[in-house]
Amino acid sequence: MYKDHLALFVLVTALPHAVLLAVSYAVTLGNPAVDAGAAGEGLSQNAGMSGTALALVSLSVFVEALRLSALTLAMALSALGPEPGVMHTYALLMRRGLVRPLGAYFAFTLLTTLGFMVPMPLIPLVGEALGLLLSMIFGTLAGGLFCVVLPMVMVEGRPVFPALRRTQALIRGELAKGMLAFSFFLLVAGFLPLLLLMLQMGDTPGDMGPLTPVLVMLLGSTVLPLGYGGIMALYFSLRAKEGATPEQLCKEMGLEASA
């Protein structure tokens, strides 16, 4: 799937990120450095810049949720029928509504983050090495348990909380595969862009070149479908195991069976 539809998947994931970069560059160019000679104005401008930074962070989280939702839909459509276009994918996503997929993304992110964070208070008791190991185990366990919640929402059209319960039932007995798929996703889609970012930096974050965000976007948009493809493959294999046919999956998505 990845090789046959690479261009579509890269464009689907890159489009919202490109918009985010354009907004970030525009905001950066529109906010010159604060004049250190005016203390009162400096405080006011710093507060404004902090608000702008918070808005950009919030926008980046939304963009990440949006592009993963669109990628899920594009992969499902490509697996069940002819390859959709980029604009068709986003148009269909908007028609289907953003509340459920974005809710599923935030629920998944929250649950996996909690999985990683729960063992942290134990570090003073068990030591840093064991504490970090427990954090990785609990985080990967949570990620594996809920990794197919977004495909379930996009394909089956379930609300978020029923999808979370259904995910646990579907993944039961295959949790090791879920943990493996989540770990691969985390390694490929998370670690590789972060590694590139670290290599582009010097001794301080300020040494980062102006084109570094673009390079990170291009790499991230290329490897995200590769990492996420394992989760989609796991979802479809689990559905096939319970007897679902391509025709049934098309019906669940509201598509023609011949599509």
How does pLDDT run along the chain (259 residues), one tens digit per residue?
Answer: 667 788 899 999 998 888 888 887 777 666 554 343 444 444 444 545 566 777 777 888 888 899 999 999 999 999 888 778 899 999 999 998 899 999 999 999 999 999 999 988 888 888 888 989 999 999 999 999 999 999 999 999 899 999 999 999 899 889 999 999 999 999 988 887 777 666 766 555 555 666 777 777 788 888 899 999 999 999 999 999 989 998 999 888 887 654 4
* pLDDT tens string 78-133: 988 877 889 999 999 999 889 999 999 999 999 999 999 998 888 888 888 898 99
Q: With beta carbons less than 8 A apart as the criterion, state whether 78 and 59 touch.
A: no
Question: How much is the pTM?
Answer: 0.83
> On the CB side of 39, how many CA atoms lie within 13 Å of its CA?
0
DSSP state of 85: P
Per-residue exposure over 190-203, b if at least 16 CB sit within 10 Å of its own CB, e if not: eebbeebbeeeeee
Q: With CA atoms as reference, report the closest residue to 20 among 56, 66, 70, 72.
A: 56
Per-residue exposure over 111-135, b if at least 16 CB sit within 10 Å of its own CB, e if not: bbeebbeebeeeeeeeeeeebeebb
